């Protein structure tokens, strides 16, 4: 009997997952080229590093290619050791993930749930919502003020059922930051048993743009439930590889290790991560290029009279004053991929990643054509 002739109802999805939609990634360059018959397309949609990957990381990956028949070291001893030295923490305070995104998910699965709620901001990184749903945890979304986290309102939303607060600093998609003073006060106001996920995916860029940028790792003393996450996807240029890490107290590391897939940082990732950490020259080049690119975009947007918000990341949120999906499509036809923010409820906003000097110029010229 062929499988086609059997009529079987599809498996029943877990009811709490019914509302979940797949994450909408930025449109791939190849797809845009095909769709619009373009030879040259620039992607400023996913906050990737326009300079490419760290050269040292590329060399290290090539060097370990011949070892790929072997499983990785599940404890990632050497990478955790290198990170621990760089961050002045103990290796047993580190969690590695298949991107920092996976770590947020593992934390939710470990600590959130139907009676353990999550609080985040209205326009925070959208994955937190999906991850909380995977954990079956209710989420309180706190409105922002001027596209910044409203820390007072977040602290006031904490109740007996709150298990976790997710705070991305810089925030994606707004690019906004918090001062050290604001963050310290907030951390002092939140009960110690609430886990605070301080997501610093754009840390390296922010530290180069803002001398007062709060380094989460220095705020952990006396705040045992502060978990700081970072990634190699942005300033290190390794988004396609998938490597992120968290700095957390050892008890949290042990809990997450109970549910962490054992080889979530694979052999190539571990080699690349160690090499990228040692590539100070590339990191400097990347953060400097972003600093110049951000100034170029701010100046260009001002000249075009397009509203935008102060950003310390490698992207900028703009209000194009029209349906952002229409503007997005018009820009696509000119070979520029941006990210429409309608899915966040920001119907007239585009998020634009900072590219190379030439890419930023092309983007500004396309915006001029479409919007003026
Ligand atoms: C605020 C924020 N956190 C986390 C991530 C996830 O990064 P990763 O590539 O490490 O999973 C992103 C990616 O865009 C982000 O913007």
pLDDT, tens only, 19-45: 888 877 777 888 889 999 999 999 999
For ligand 1, mutation pick of 45, 106, 172, 265 (most atoms within 8 Å of CB): 172
Q: What is the pLDDT of residues 211-262, one digit of tens each?
A: 999 999 999 987 999 999 999 999 999 999 999 999 999 999 999 999 999 9
- State the distance from the centre of ligand 1 to the C-alpha of 294, rounded, in angstroms: 19
Whether 315 is in the pocket of ligand 1, judged by its Cβ within 6 Å, is: no
What pLDDT is recorded for position 15? Answer: 85
Q: pLDDT-based confidence at 5, cuts 50/70/90? A: low
Closest C-alpha to 192, from 141, 120, 241, 249: 249
User: What is the Cα–Cα distance from 80 to 274, expressed in whole angstroms?
Assistant: 9
Whether 176 is in the pocket of ligand 1, judged by its Cβ within 6 Å, is: no
Q: Is 192 helix (H, G, I), strand (E, B) or coil?
A: coil
Query: Backbone phi, then psi, for 110, in 5-degree steps?
Result: -75, -40
Mean pLDDT calculated for residue range 291-309: 98
In this structure, how many other beta carbons lie within 10 angstroms of the beta carbon of residue 187?
A: 22
Share of the chain above pLDDT 70, in %: 98
Q: What is the pLDDT of residues 170-180, one digit of tens each?
A: 999 999 999 99
Mean of all residue pLDDT scores within the chain: 95
- State the distance from the centre of ligand 1 to the C-alpha of 200, rounded, in angstroms: 9
Q: pLDDT-based confidence at 370, cuts 50/70/90? A: very high
- Looking from the CA of residue 125, the nearest atom of ligand 1 is 1
Q: Is 80 helix (H, G, I), strand (E, B) or coil?
A: helix
User: Which residue lies with its CA nearest to atom 16 of ligand 1?
Assistant: 172
Share of the chain above pLDDT 90, in %: 90
Look up the pTM and report it: 0.95
What pLDDT is recorded for position 115? Answer: 97
What pLDDT is recorded for position 2? Answer: 55
Domains of the chain by start residue, with CATH: 25-47+281-371 (3.90.1150.10), 55-277 (3.40.640.10)
E strands, the chain, in order: 42-43, 94-97, 117-121, 139-142, 162-168, 195-199, 226-231, 244-247, 307-308, 315-319, 336-337, 339-340, 349-353
Instruction: Decide if 30 contacts 335 (C-beta within 8 A).
Output: no
């Amino acid at each position: 009997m062929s499988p086609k002739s059997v009529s079987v109802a599809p498996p029943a999805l877990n009811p709490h997952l019914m509302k979940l939609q797949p994450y909408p990634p930025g449109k791939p360059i190849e797809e845009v080229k095909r769709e619009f018959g373009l030879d040259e397309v620039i992607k400023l949609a996913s906050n990737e590093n326009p300079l490419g990957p760290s050269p040292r990381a590329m060399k290290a990956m090539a060097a370990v290619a011949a070892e790929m028949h072997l499983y990785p070291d599940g404890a990632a001893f050497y990478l955790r050791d290198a990170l621990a030295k760089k961050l002045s923490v103990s290796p047993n305070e580190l969690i590695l993930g298949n991107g920092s995104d996976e770590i947020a998910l593992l934390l939710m699965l470990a600590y959130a749930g139907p009676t353990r709620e999550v609080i985040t901001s209205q326009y925070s990184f959208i994955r937190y919502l999906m991850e909380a749903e995977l954990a079956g945890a209710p989420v309180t979304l706190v409105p922002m003020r001027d596209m910044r986290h409203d820390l007072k309102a977040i602290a006031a939303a904490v109740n007996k059922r709150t298990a976790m607060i997710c705070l991305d600093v810089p925030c994606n998609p707004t690019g906004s930051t918090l001062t050290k003073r604001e963050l310290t006060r907030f951390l002092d106001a939140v009960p110690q048993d609430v886990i605070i996920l301080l997501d610093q995916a754009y840390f390296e860029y922010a530290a180069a743009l803002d001398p007062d940028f709060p380094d989460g790792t220095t705020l952990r003393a006396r705040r045992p439930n502060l978990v700081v996450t970072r990634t190699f996807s942005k300033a290190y240029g390794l988004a396609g590889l998938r490597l992120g890490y968290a700095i957390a107290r050892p008890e949290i590391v042990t809990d997450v290790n109970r549910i962490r897939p054992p080889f979530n940082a694979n052999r190539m990732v571990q080699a690349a991560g160690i090499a990228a950490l040692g590539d100070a020259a590339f990191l400097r080049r990347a953060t400097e290029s972003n600093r110049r690119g951000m100034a170029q975009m701010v100046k260009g947007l001002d000249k075009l009279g397009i509203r935008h918000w102060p950003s310390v990341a490698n992207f900028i949120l703009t209000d194009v004053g029209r349906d952002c999906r229409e503007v997005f499509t018009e820009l696509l036809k000119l070979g520029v991929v941006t990210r429409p923010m309608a899915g966040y409820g920001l119907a007239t906003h585009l998020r634009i990643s900072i590219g190379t000097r030439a890419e930023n110029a092309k983007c500004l010229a396309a915006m001029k054509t479409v919007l003026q």
